[in-house]
Amino acid sequence: MERNIRNIFLIGNPNSGKSSLFNQLTGLNQKIANYPGVTTERKIGSFYLEKQQYELVDLPGCYSLYPNSIDEKVVINELLQNKPDLILFVADASNLYRSLLLYTQVADFNFPIAMVLNMVDELESKGEVVNASFLESELGCPVFLCNSKKRKGIDSLQKYIIGSDFHASIKIFGNKQLFSNYLSSSNLNYASWHEYVQSTPSNAIVENIKRIEVIERYNKIESIIALTVSKTQKAFNRQRFTEKLDKYLMHKYYGFIFLLLILYLVFQTLFTLAQFPMTWLDSGFGYMAHLINNLDSKSSWLTFISEAVIPGISGVLIFIPQIALLFLMNTFLEESGYMARIVFLLDNWMRKFGMSGKSVLPLLSGNACAIPAIASTKAIPTHKERLITILCIPFMTCSARLPVYTLLISIVIPLEFQGLSLLSLYALGVIFAMLFGWILNKNISTSEKSFLIMELPPYRLPSFKNIYINIKNAVVAFVKVAGKFIVTISIVLWFLASFGWQNQAIQKTNIETSFAASIGKTIEPAIKPLGYDWKIGVALVTSFAAREVFVSTLGMLYNIGEEATERTMIEKMKSQVYPQTQLPVFNLASGVSLLLFYAFALQCMSTLAAIKKETDTFKWAIISFLLMASLAYTSAFIAFQFLKKC
């Protein structure tokens, strides 16, 4: 063994099959530094070939080394900071012209490099063939023909990785004279130029040099392509097929009809399919808690497990079906190429609200869970559009609001209006997300120019392996990030709800005299104008960890046994009255007020943590929390005061 671990970078254009190659080489052996969008952060996978360990870094797709988004900055930063032992450059054969621009830039860093020429079959279907050995001699680096979705060519690539000491490409493509005014002669290389560009604020002269550099590269690339690609007989033409399909899917009227249909199908499937495993998990954990409790109802350890740990864990696991299905849909829309069409159709509309077409998918994902949705905004290039998207996502009706909505609706809304009410709450989320975006757009000033220059990839069939790995990564990341939060907070809440200050000591007590009750009674004056009693106050506080905790807290507070079904819970809550007045606690006024409170309040620690992480400051997490809290309070106040007179 020569060295401990050999470090390989994977670089290429978006949609070049980079992630597929990554999955083929590393299998399931991947770790991600953070929550994954599609390939938004540094993905690292390791694999062994003949006892030598290799670490493969999958860098985000980009078109050049001059970055336009946070994603793309990662690539140039990695090249400048870390020295890879080998760069595997993934090129899309059917789009060789554009792939080679990035290739020639990366090659000029003078690291050992090899090219993986992907999707050769697509090039052939366009009626062209590429001569790999000509390309090798033109580029000065080894070229492997692959179809990474079908594992074609992977074996010879692996043999190359095992067998060789890696060599830098023999050819440098850039013109050093372009940069000579800015770099000392001892430092006259492409990497130093990038260091210079990063360290100086952008100005017209530097921008001009960049443009000249790119055009000069393209001129060289044209002659390379003329020598290596030749025309043959045409077979099935994917490009033609895509163009024909786009006549309908991107049509100025029909396009929207298809869009609505596809989105309807996607979300209908998401909600219907997720129902089953969620119900199973819920009743499974309920049964488990029941069993443990029955072992020995006196043991405080067993109560701790059945009342704090198990509900905590189940509170995390219950979201996994939805997150998995959400990522299934996301990956499918992204890999099939339809995502780019959604961007095309909706960009104009979204811009009125300070966002871009690229905000549509994150916003829709917010209907399942805000946390992965916020993480997936990284691909939005302009800072302002990205910020507005992040801040609008929490308004969308996430799945944690659903149990609260269904419980309250079935208590206070007459049966014939229940479906309509739920639908209106979803609509309310969308309307306020857009309204909030519109207000933010008017109030956040920016000097940055927003633009949308995006490739429309041909339609392709997504690979099952990619979808599977994406889902697995998303679920693992969710459990790690949000899981820690939810479990910890539900344990703390259990403590607050089961212990109290009695006889100058902390003692186990019932909920009426617990710490949670004192908190609820303390905030009671503040929530009385909204129509809530102190018990609802406790539930408001506890649901700060995750909104659906509201339901279980009320269950605990109203002494509803664990065997209670949803029906008995609804009956019990309906019969709650204020001791002095004998008026019901849950009536139309307080119910609607609570529904509005839950629609607007940002009661989710994990979402706040995600906002803080993605905007890189506490400022926006605090601002959006306060704004949404005041909106929740005001609307709940108005609704209650208005409705109680009716």
Partner 1 sequence: MTLCELEKNEMGIVIDLIQNEFTLKLVEMGIYKGRSITPTEFTLLKDPICVSVSDSRLMLRKEEAKSIIVTKCDL
Minimum gap (Å) between residue 48 Cβ and partner 1: 37
Check residue 244 for interaction with partner 1 (CB under 8 A): no
DSSP 113-163: EEEEEE-HHHHHHTTEEE-HHHHHHHHTS-EEE-BTTTTBTHHHHHHHHHH
Minimum gap (Å) between residue 307 Cβ and partner 1: 54
Helix (H) or strand (E) run with residue 501 in it = strand 499-502
Q: Which is nearer to partner 1, 204 or 415 (CB)?
A: 204
Minimum gap (Å) between residue 16 Cβ and partner 1: 12
Minimum gap (Å) between residue 357 Cβ and partner 1: 8
| Backbone φ and ψ of 517, nearest 5° | -65, -40
Q: Which of 95, 148, 389, 543 binds partner 1 (CB under 8 A)?
A: 95
Check residue 243 for interaction with partner 1 (CB under 8 A): yes
Q: Which of 454, 476, 523, 560 binds partner 1 (CB under 8 A)?
A: 454
Beta carbons within 8 Å of 532's beta carbon, 6+ residues apart? 540, 590, 593, 594
Q: Determine how β-strand 128-130 pairs with β-strand 229-231.
A: antiparallel
Number of residues that bind partner 1 (CB under 8 A): 39
Q: Which two tokens stand for residue 509?
A: 């007590």
Contact 346, 362 (CB under 8 A): no
Print burial letters for 526-535: b (CB count within 10 Å at least 16), e (below 16). Answer: ebeebbbbbb
Q: Would you state the torsion angle of the CA atoms of residues 195, 60, 373, 316, taken in this order, to the nearest 10 degrees?
A: -110
Q: Which is nearer to partner 1, 121 or 246 (CB)?
A: 246
Minimum gap (Å) between residue 95 Cβ and partner 1: 5
Minimum gap (Å) between residue 215 Cβ and partner 1: 5
Print burial letters for 209-247: b (CB count within 10 Å at least 16), e (below 16). Answer: bbeebbeebeebbeebbeebbeeeeeeeebeeebeebbe
Q: Which is nearer to partner 1, 3 or 252 (CB)?
A: 252
Check residue 226 for interaction with partner 1 (CB under 8 A): no
Of 234, 15, 267, the C-alpha closest to 118 is 15
Distance CA 23, CA 31 (A): 12
Of 392, 435, 416, the C-alpha closest to 602 is 392
Check residue 442 for interaction with partner 1 (CB under 8 A): no
Check residue 218 for interaction with partner 1 (CB under 8 A): yes
Minimum gap (Å) between residue 448 Cβ and partner 1: 8
Q: Which is nearer to partner 1, 455 or 571 (CB)?
A: 455
Contact 389, 355 (CB under 8 A): yes
Q: Which of 155, 296, 448, 512 binds partner 1 (CB under 8 A)?
A: 448
Q: Which is nearer to partner 1, 378 or 401 (CB)?
A: 378
Minimum gap (Å) between residue 60 Cβ and partner 1: 16
Q: Which of 268, 272, 348, 634 binds partner 1 (CB under 8 A)?
A: 348
Range 475-534, binding partner 1 (CB under 8 A): none
Q: Determine how β-strand 30-32 pairs with β-strand 43-49.
A: antiparallel
Contact 322, 270 (CB under 8 A): yes
Q: Which of 150, 251, 352, 528 binds partner 1 (CB under 8 A)?
A: 251
Check residue 68 for interaction with partner 1 (CB under 8 A): yes
Distance CA 430, CA 418 (A): 19
Of 63, 135, 147, 143, the C-alpha closest to 99 is 63
Contact 539, 557 (CB under 8 A): yes
Range 97-126, binding partner 1 (CB under 8 A): 97-98, 101, 126
Of 97, 141, 101, 102, the C-alpha closest to 123 is 97
Grouping H, G, I as helix, E, B as strand and the rest as coil, residue 68 is coil
Q: Where does this chain touch partner 1 (CB under 8 A) — which range of 1-9, 58-66, 162-170, 577-585?
A: 58-66
Check residue 344 for interaction with partner 1 (CB under 8 A): yes
Q: Which is nearer to partner 1, 454 or 629 (CB)?
A: 454
Q: Strands (DSSP E) along 15-78, which ranges? A: 30-32, 43-49, 52-58
Q: Which of 345, 408, 511, 596 binds partner 1 (CB under 8 A)?
A: 345
Minimum gap (Å) between residue 65 Cβ and partner 1: 10
Minimum gap (Å) between residue 211 Cβ and partner 1: 5
Q: Which is nearer to partner 1, 77 or 242 (CB)?
A: 242
Q: Which is nearer to partner 1, 63 or 597 (CB)?
A: 63
Contact 577, 583 (CB under 8 A): yes
Grouping H, G, I as helix, E, B as strand and the rest as coil, residue 92 is strand
Q: Where does this chain touch partner 1 (CB under 8 A) — which range of 23-31, 211-219, 473-481, 490-498?
A: 211-219
Minimum gap (Å) between residue 381 Cβ and partner 1: 9
Q: Which is nearer to partner 1, 276 or 451 (CB)?
A: 451
Check residue 66 for interaction with partner 1 (CB under 8 A): yes
Binding mask 351-390 for partner 1 (x = CB under 8 A): ------x---------------------------------
Q: Would you state the torsion angle of the CA atoms of residues 117, 119, 124, 129, taken in this order, to the nearest 10 degrees?
A: 0
Contact 71, 378 (CB under 8 A): yes
Check residue 343 for interaction with partner 1 (CB under 8 A): yes
Q: Which is nearer to partner 1, 383 or 644 (CB)?
A: 383
Check residue 449 for interaction with partner 1 (CB under 8 A): yes
Q: Where does this chain touch partner 1 (CB under 8 A) — which range of 111-119, 214-222, 297-305, 562-570?
A: 214-222
Tell me, what DSSP letter sits at residue 584?
B
Check residue 246 for interaction with partner 1 (CB under 8 A): yes
Q: Where does this chain touch partner 1 (CB under 8 A) — which range of 213-221, 271-279, 286-294, 569-577?
A: 213-221
Distance CA 483, CA 486 (A): 5
Beta carbons within 8 Å of 642's beta carbon, 6+ residues apart? 589
Minimum gap (Å) between residue 389 Cβ and partner 1: 17
Q: Which is nearer to partner 1, 276 or 349 (CB)?
A: 349
| Backbone φ and ψ of 618, nearest 5° | -70, -20
Minimum gap (Å) between residue 195 Cβ and partner 1: 18
Minimum gap (Å) between residue 383 Cβ and partner 1: 13
Binding mask 124-153 for partner 1 (x = CB under 8 A): --x---------------------------
Q: Which two tokens stand for residue 54?
A: 């290799």
Residue ranges in contact with partner 1 by CB under 8 A: 63-64, 66, 68, 94-95, 97-98, 101, 126, 204, 207, 210-211, 214-215, 218, 243, 246-247, 250-252, 255, 340, 343-345, 347-348, 357, 448-449, 451-456
